[in-house]
Amino acid sequence: MKRRSFFAAAGLSALAATMLSGKASAQSGGKIDAKLAELGIEVAPASAPVAAYVGWRKVGNLVYIAGQVPHNENGNIIGKLGANMTTEQGYEAARACGISILGQLKAALNGDLDRVKQCIQIQGLVNSTDDYTEQHLVINGTSELFRDIWGEAGLAARAAVGTNSLPLGIACEVLAVFEVA
Amino acid sequence: MFRRAFLTSVVASILAACGKSEQASEEKMPSKPAASNGGRIDAKLAKLGIELPEARTPIAAYTPYRKVGNMVYIAGQGPSNQGVVGKDYTTEQAYQLAREAGILVLSQLKVALDGDLDRVVQCVQLQGLVRATSDYTEQHLVINGTSELFRDIFGDSGLAARAAVGTNSLPVGFVCEVIATFEIA
């Protein structure tokens, strides 16, 4: 009974993650904020984790961002590449993960994205059928977003991989590590 | 011939990891039993009734941990159970296996820290792989088994920037595998 209520609570927090939560990251009005405005990108406040973890961890000059769930105005982006999603739709989902990463990063940096020196590592997991082979093109959705924002420093030592299943049935999940000033 | 000998040794190591053969690990350097230093975290483990098993020897060509500056990287750890979540295991059963994986991580961490788990500053990153059916969607609840164990032991600093993912297959047929990175003092 106790365990059941635990799982019910975990399910609820998963639902809550599709909504915006937490305090809004302060606008620093910096160079990167101007770039985001120019690109028409609105970074929502970091969403709450869907389970027992934190959105980011800082160690020295590195910021580790937890695996981000893609979501848009309709909620979490659910699907499987090769079955019910095109590579282009997957690209948009990966871009949405990238925007979620920006929200976490902004929270980690007290709102000041200008402190980012480079994106070190990206791992992009794509919910795929066994014969789907364009995971790298899907995760370009994250990578090209970061390049648009930070230039070449936004490109990471990257791995894009397929998986047969992801939490909540999401189309992709992206985690990242940044060097910050 | 050389290759055959190599393969035989790999298979033997895998069997050893599954607890089916103890003597097969003789060619590996045995990891020393984790010494108890009677610290704060050891007391916490005792209170939770957790006894850390001897750190596992690797089942292939890798080291169980690496230290770089103030970081410790722990190699993928998984309990010996074999199966697929969503078919052979429920989320709750797999949660317990992820918890066991977390205990295996702690065993390695303790060896890396010469027995002193009090040196842990925080768990930085946790990657949890769950062997699952294609329509399974509760990987995050499974890996809570590891995360909540670390939180019980280290408090909120035991929670990591985490990724829980599914996979269709894992070495030796493991149900789950957990990779962790810690900041240490």
* Rounded Cα–Cα distance for residues B163 and B140 (Å): 8
Question: Does the beta-carbon distance from B140 to A14 stay under 8 Å?
Answer: yes
Topology classification of domain B2-22+29-184: 60s Ribosomal Protein L30; Chain: A; (3.30.1330)
Global confidence as pTM: 0.82
Residue spans of the domains in chain A: they are 3-180
Q: pLDDT for B77-91, tens place per residue?
A: 999 999 999 999 999
Mean pLDDT for chain B overall: 86
Q: pLDDT for B20-63, tens place per residue?
A: 333 333 334 445 545 556 799 999 999 999 999 999 998 899 99
Q: Among A17-31, B35-49, B98-112, which stretch is predicted with the lowest mean pLDDT? A: A17-31
Instruction: Tell me what ipTM this predicted complex has.
Output: 0.81
Q: pLDDT for A108-118, tens place per residue?
A: 999 999 999 99
Check if B152 contacts A (Cβ < 8 Å).
no
Q: pLDDT for A125-172, tens place per residue?
A: 999 999 999 999 999 999 999 999 999 999 999 999 999 999 999 999
Q: How far is B130 from chain A (nearest CA, A)?
A: 9
* Rounded Cα–Cα distance for residues B107 and B113 (Å): 10
Check if A134 contacts B (Cβ < 8 Å).
no
**Amino acid at the residue A45:** P
Q: How far is A95 from chain B (nearest CA, A)?
A: 18
Q: pLDDT for A60-72, tens place per residue?
A: 999 999 999 999 9
| H-helix or E-strand spanning residue A87 | helix A87-108
* Token pair belonging to B165: 């993912």
Is the predicted pLDDT of residue B4 greater than 70, yes or no?
A: no
Interface test with B, best of A50, A165, A174 (most B CBs within 10 A): A165
Q: Find the residue in A nearest to B139 (Cα).
A: A167
Interface test with A, best of B72, B136, B142, B162 (most A CBs within 10 A): B162
Question: Does the beta-carbon distance from B162 to A53 stay under 8 Å?
Answer: yes
Residue spans of the domains in chain B: they are 2-22+29-184
Q: Find the residue in A nearest to B144 (Cα).
A: A52
Output the CA–CA distances (angstroms, integers) from residue A100 to A70, B73, B147, in the order listed: 7, 26, 22
Check if A159 contacts B (Cβ < 8 Å).
no
Chain A positions in Cβ-Cβ contact with residue B126 (cut-off 8 Å): 53
CATH no. of A3-180: 3.30.1330.40
Q: Which pLDDT belongs to residue A50?
A: 78
Is the predicted pLDDT of residue A58 greater than 80, yes or no?
A: yes
